[in-house]
Structure 1
Amino acid sequence: MRGMNDMVRQAQMMQKKMQKLQEEMEDKVVEASSGGGMVTVEATCSGVVKSVKIDPSVIDPEDVDMLQDLVLAAVNEAVKKGKDFAESEMKGLTGGINIPGIF
């Protein structure tokens, strides 16, 4: 019975650590850019875009599609970086065990 109590206690500790890590990922910011730094995006590791910076020289009213593509690429890369970082941190916490639905 003691072994079962220890296991439950360990599971509760891991759950608290995972919750803390998820909260930390809401504050952890990553940055990505596209177009050689013409568009830069900052996003949290939980996927919230915090800022978008666009170099004025890339704004061309005749080529809106290019600007849209640069913004989209930078946003997608920032979100991917955040997700990858969060997954890496979670694997460190869980000893490499993949727990679906965490991030």
Structure 2
Amino acid sequence: MRGMGNMQGMMKKMQKMQKEMMEAQEALNQQQFEGTAGGGMVKVLMNGQREVLEVNLDESVVDPEDIEMLQDLIVVATNEALKKVEETTASTMGKFTQGLNLPF
């Protein structure tokens, strides 16, 4: 019977951890992350679900003669915002998987 008590206790801990993970993921999904390029002339706002919410362009960066530069700046700002999402997700969710030796 002693093993059943340990198993039951372990299941409760796992359920608690699962609930905490879900809450942490929901909090991450609600966070907003900003990436910038061109000294802040291009800003991309993204949520924790990796959805682009806004793209803000300074008027001075909009040059019809140089669309490629603007496209490059948008890509850089988007990738920066995405990197911030990934880093925050890894540090937040990593505490739940620490020491579990899970394959990635």
Under TM normalisation by the shorter chain, which class is it?
A: 0.7 to 0.9
For structure 1, the 5+ residue unaligned runs are none
| Contact 1:30-1:78 within 8 A present in 2 as well | yes
1:58 aligns to what?
61
Percent identity for Structure 1 against Structure 2? 43
Written as runs of structure 1 = structure 2, the 5 A alignment for 1:35-74 is 35-74=38-77
Q: 2:22 aligns with which of 9, 14, 19?
A: 19
For structure 2, the 5+ residue unaligned runs are none
SS state at 2:54 partner: strand
Q: TM-score, normalised by structure 1?
A: 0.88
Regions of 4+ moved over 4 Å: 96-101
Which residue identity is paired with 1:40?
K
Structure 1 residues 33 and 26, CA, compared in 2 at 3 Å: closer, same or farther?
same
CA drift of 1:93 comes to 3.7
Number of residues of Structure 1 aligned to a counterpart in Structure 2: 101
Structure 1 residues 86 and 28, CA, compared in 2 at 3 Å: closer, same or farther?
same
Question: Please, what is the CA RMSD of the aligned residues?
Answer: 1.8
Query: What is the distance in 2 between the residues matched to 1:52 and 1:99?
Result: 36
2:8 aligns to what?
5
Q: TM-score, normalised by structure 2?
A: 0.87
Higher radius of gyration, 1 or 2: 2
